[in-house]
Structure 1
Amino acid sequence: MKRNILMTIILPLFPIAGIEKTANSTIPPHTTQMVNTRPASVVDIPLPAGFKRVNYPPTSFACWLRKIPIKKDTLVHLYNGKLKINQGAQYAVLDIPVGDKDLQQCADAVMRLRAQYLYDQKRYSEITFVDNIGKKYTCPGKTDSIHFQRYLEMVYSHCNTVSLEKQLHPVNDFSTIMPGDVLVKGGSPGHAVMVMDMAANDSGKVIYLLAQSYMPAQDIHILKDPLYRKLSPWYWVDKDNLMVYTPEWTFASFHLRRW
């Protein structure tokens, strides 16, 4: 999803009415009630009973994503300080500045998270994004936060869902989904969301979290699961997952990409 900086495009919401499972509807037999409803201070969202987080190396992108702080306030604000009209999509809001420009939208938020991780790891030369005509935008190296933000704004201005979809590598088997992967549909309209965390139980069932920004630029937020409210905000990994329904977009499983 991308915009001309001088013009905002209003994206259509892909309707999911008719497939949403309410709290009183039938859910899969392996679905368990959420336990531990304490508020999280980082992306350490409470798990369903019987699930444990998947272990990843301490310096991995997966572990870095898990440590991002979240706000106590669950309201999503736009770049101009106004509240987003739809306040029903988010479970939690990441404590990451959105800036005061209409720039850090969906693909931008994905690139922001990846860039910040690599920067924190001092892997500056790996912070590279490619626009639609193949031009690369590489981080100039270690710099202060102001210049790093300027670099990111340049990336936001030239790269979008189309270029991100081209840059990332297709994941042919959805069951291998992992934190840091991106569901991205390039185009105008288009959209991108990032896999933030994963957990599994002893039966081999796997669940994951998704996060997004949107248009206009807004706080990055953990998405609710509109399909199974008792599991929300977690999503099931299912070999038959041909579609992934999020509150404001519908993806096909073949939209999954990896860095």
Structure 2
Amino acid sequence: MHMKACSTLLIIFSFMFQACGQTSNESPSKGEFSTSPKKVKPIINIKGNTIETRINTPPGFERTSAETHSFGEYLRQLPLKPDGTMVRYYNGIPKPNFNIYTAVVDLKIGERDLHQCADAVMRLRAEHLWSQKEFEKIHFNFTNGFRVDYSEWIKGKRIAVKGNDVSWYQAGSPSNTYKDFWKYMEIIFSYAGTLSLAKELTPIKTDQLQVGDVFIQGGSPGHAVIVVDVATKPETREKIFLLAQSYMPAQEIQILKNRNDKGISPWYSSGFGEVLETPEWTFTNMDLKRFE
């Protein structure tokens, strides 16, 4: 009996040793080996009211730096209407969102069918310069090549258009209110477009892309969209960007979705190759240009 008892105890101890030492399929005790996954911020922050605060970068990307009061900072800080707002045409009718845009810029566009694609690009450029009081830098060409300087406009001069002949004339006293500025822009909208703007801008390569650059095809119709933000991945220097547009008929500026890469939409990769597909137009890598 004594030998049997010892044998029985040995078996029990052997079983207990095997049970404690065997590999288990159970999860380790909380806090010992497991690590909690990091929370990933969604790309769209519905509470944000600017491009920078509404649209987060994808994991691993960081926004490029922008100098204070620069065009890049201005575009990044463009005000946005509440999430889910529909784009409105110049006449107040809403533009259906057939997977086209992810946000609407909160800027008035006037009540005439003028604020279209190239017009929106020129408007953003001019708005920034006007806000910085760099009035001498505000100038655009009509389609016939006539250069219209805002510095002449604020002297009280206006434009006379007779067929293809264009000239200045003195119409009143010097004035430089925002109302004056908007009247100037409506003249630009009326007689300039993608054809003229494409000739004014400087071609650049896509690997040099920065905030404020423009994808543009001059034509009738043509189209233009503007880069309103850029981010990079520090480890690889991979670059992504956001695009904004107006369209026909005249409509509010909208931040475009990326239908071809929903994982990073509304961001686009600068490594898109030869063709850049946007919801309402297809560009090529030769269509990227810059204001100088």
TM-score, reference length from structure 1: 0.83
> Measured at CA, do residues 86 and 41 of structure 1 come closer, stay the same or move farther in structure 2, by a change above 3 Å?
closer
Deviating above 3 A after TM superposition, structure 1's stretches of 4 or more consecutive aligned residues are: none
Q: 2 CA distance for matches of 1:87 and 1:109? A: 21
TM-score by length of 2: 0.74
Distance in 2 (alpha carbons) for counterparts of 1:37 and 1:132 = 39
The 5-angstrom pairing of residues 135-154 of structure 1 reads: 135-139=146-150, 140-141=153-154, 143-154=176-187
CA RMSD of superposed structures (Å): 1.4
**Which letter maps to 2:220?**
S
Aligned to 1:181: 213
SS in 2 for 1:254: coil
Corresponding residue for residue 113 of structure 1: 124
Where do 5+ consecutive residues of structure 2 fail to align? 1-39, 155-174
1:38 aligns with 2:45: yes
| CA distance in structure 2 between the aligned counterparts of 1:247 and 1:34, rounded to whole angstroms | 25
- Partner of 1:21 in structure 2? none
Deviations 1:145-173 (A, max 9, x none): 211110000000010100000011111x2
How many residues are paired up? 225
In 2, Cα distance between equivalents of 1:34 and 1:252 = 32
2:265 is the alignment partner of 1:232: yes
Secondary structure class of the residue paired with 2:89: coil
Unpaired segments ≥5 residues, structure 1: 1-32
Larger relative contact order (Cα-Cα within 8 Å, sequence gap ≥ 6): 1
Which letter maps to 2:44? T
Q: For 1:226 and 1:199, how far apart are their aligned partners in 2?
A: 19
Deviations 1:73-92 (A, max 9, x none): 43111000001144420010
**Candidates 68, 79, 84, aligned match of 1:69:** 79
Q: Is the counterpart of residue 48 in structure 1 residue 58 in structure 2?
A: yes
Q: Is the 8 A contact 1:74 1:90 kept in 2?
A: no
Q: Choose between structure 1 and 2: higher helix proportion.
A: 2
Q: How far apart are residue 34 of structure 1 and its match? A: 6.5
Larger radius of gyration: 2
Q: 1:152 to 1:222 in 2, by over 3 A?
A: same
Q: Structure 1 residues 144, 105: CA separation in 2 closer, same or farther (over 3 Å shift)?
A: same
What letter matches 1:107 in structure 2?
A
Secondary structure, in 3 states, of the residue corresponding to 2:51?
coil
